[in-house]
Amino acid sequence: MLKALHFDCHEAANGEEALALLTQISRPDIVTVNWHMPVMDGIELIKRLRTDPSYQGLRLLMVSTEQDQDRIAMALDAGADDFVVKPFTEAAIGQKLIDLGVCSLSQVATSVVASRAPVRVLIVDDSLTIRSVLATTLAGDPELQVVGTAADGQIGLVRIRESNPDIVLLDVEMPVMDGITMLRELRRIQPRLPVLMFSSLTERGAKAAIEALVAGANDYVAKPQGSNLADVTARIRAEIIPRIKQLVPRRQEAADFSGGRLVPAQTPAHSPRVPRRVRSEKIAAVVVAVSTGGPSALADFLPAFISPSSVPVLIVQHMPPVFTSHLAQRLTHICNLPVREAQSGHVLAAGDILLAPGGMHMEVVKTGSTVTVGLTSAAPENSCRPSADVLFRSAAKTWGAGTLAVVLTGMGRDGFQGCEAIVAAGGDVLAQDESTSVVWGMPGHVARAGLADAILPLSQLGVEVSLRLKRRVL
């Protein structure tokens, strides 16, 4: 949005980088500051700027998931001129810019309208038929715009530079440069551009999909195939278009520009975040919920804390059968420790890292001093099987306050009710932050409800688990 308002934007990943950058550029009109950052957080950055005479009068806007009134007051007391809670609407952030005097109502109104432009899609597939059917079907949706196509990965990289897409649809097997090679090169130059991989539900397709997801693809979808054009078109509309819109959401709210103010049509209501809970109970197990963006997130998260002597780690990753077995193999290679699909009746022991099999719920059951794994084909929950809610509820019942839950990137709200049960039993919940999540659905629901006692970037979550395990192990 700031770029749409013709701001010359500069970015920094933490407070120290921001201070260094400010010495290299001309004085900005405004600095937007995130609260939770590594190295130097937003509060410390604001305090530093407010004590430096050269930045006197500089507008500082705190942007954060924090929403408790005491926390907002803390940011304002530190020197922030205003505060906006994430996730925010264009109208909400636009009004803050107007109030701070850095742009006009007409500028913001124009930007809000422009921000509803269609999602720009690039199709990279060696099949002319697939490219044609996809382009025609996507073009029929007013919220999407096909900005280019490419027959191989090498051309695809050129098209990305030329067309500046919002998302890339990418096939795996192509001549000249295959999809995974292109993806690795793309992640080197554009780590945040959403990529939706095509896959098949075969053994070979599952293995390729897992490789792509670990390499940085955001999600995968079955490649549209078939001899009946109407059926293929229907599948694209039912399966691919919704996935595109989930990975690149457009702001749907309306805004009223009358009366000299921007008024969002609807302001989301969030429950206040509860204070951080400090506990001394020993951690008996770590349970993890993850969906969209999961394989890559798990590859970063697990190696930071697992060991042959650590407490059991049980993971629900939303995936179909066949895929989860390949994910377990890939994570085993990355972690240098065995990651296995769970088997019913398995007795949990130190060092276990278990992944719920696709198509099966996983739960834990305690008998005496022994905890075993159970697998069921009960009805899906939250349209998911496996479901994190099933695992989390059983963990709360089995380990109570000894449960540490981690909710990573993912669509929907699976794991939310399970986190409620864990918190009620005295356990802890960690959630991935919005900026590092592919989709801030599952962790976002947990964070906004005040169930998480820490909301951290992916790079810090594994370290936090490790620290907690060292302080509170069995």
Per-residue pLDDT tens for 116-137? 679 999 999 999 999 999 999 9
- Shortest CA distance to 374 belongs to which of 386, 453, 383, 384? 386
pLDDT (tens digit, 0 to 9) for every residue of the chain, 474 residues total? Answer: 566 656 778 889 899 999 999 999 999 989 999 998 888 999 999 999 999 999 999 999 998 877 777 788 899 999 999 998 876 666 677 778 888 888 776 666 555 555 567 999 999 999 999 999 999 999 999 999 999 999 999 999 999 999 999 999 999 889 999 999 999 999 988 888 999 998 765 567 788 888 889 888 999 888 887 778 888 899 899 889 988 988 886 544 444 444 454 444 443 433 433 444 455 678 999 999 999 999 999 999 999 899 888 999 999 999 988 899 999 999 999 999 999 999 999 999 999 999 999 999 999 999 998 999 999 999 999 889 999 999 999 999 999 999 999 999 998 999 999 999 999 999 999 999 988 898 899 999 999 999 998 899 998 899 899 888 886 544
**In contact, 312 and 285? CB cutoff 8 Å:** yes
387-444 confidence digits (pLDDT tens): 999 999 999 999 999 999 999 999 899 999 999 999 999 999 999 998 889 889 999 9
Q: How many residues does the chain have?
A: 474
Which phi and psi angles does 270 have, rounded to 5°? Answer: -120, 140
Return the domain boundaries, the chain. Answer: 15-115, 119-247, 285-471
Same-fold call for 15-115 versus 119-247: yes
Please tell me the distance from the alpha carbon of residue 206 to that of residue 201, in angstroms, as a whole number. 6
Relative to beta strand 219-222, strand 195-199 is parallel
List of residues 6+ apart from 272 with CB closer than 8 A: 67, 68, 69, 450
Beta bridge partner(s), residue 4 = none
Tell me: cis bond preceding 386? Omega within 30 of 0 counts.
yes
Quick count: other Cβ atoms within 10 Å of Cβ 277? Answer: 13
119-247 CATH choice from 3.40.50.2300, 3.40.50.300, 3.40.720.10, 3.40.190.10: 3.40.50.2300
Residue 310 is encoded by which pair of tokens?
Answer: 């650590």
Contact 276, 453 (CB under 8 A): yes
200 a catalytic residue: no
Among residues 414, 428, 433, 453, the one annotated as catalytic is 414
Per residue in 241-271, pLDDT (tens digit) is 988 988 886 544 444 444 454 444 443 433 4
Phi, psi of 260, rounded to the nearest 5 degrees: 75, 15
Superfamily of domain 285-471: Methylesterase CheB, C-terminal domain (3.40.50.180)
111, 291, 296, 394: the catalytic one is 291
Asked if 399 contacts 422 with a C-beta cutoff of 8 angstroms, the reply is no
Record the pTM.
Answer: 0.68
What stretches of 152-247 adopt beta strand conformation (E)? Answer: 167-170, 195-199, 219-222
- Catalytic residue status for 291: yes
* Continuous segment of H or E residues that includes residue 119: strand 119-124
CATH class of 15-115: alpha beta
| Catalytic residue list contains 26 | no
| Active-site residue, selected from the candidate residues 199, 318, 394, 453 | 318
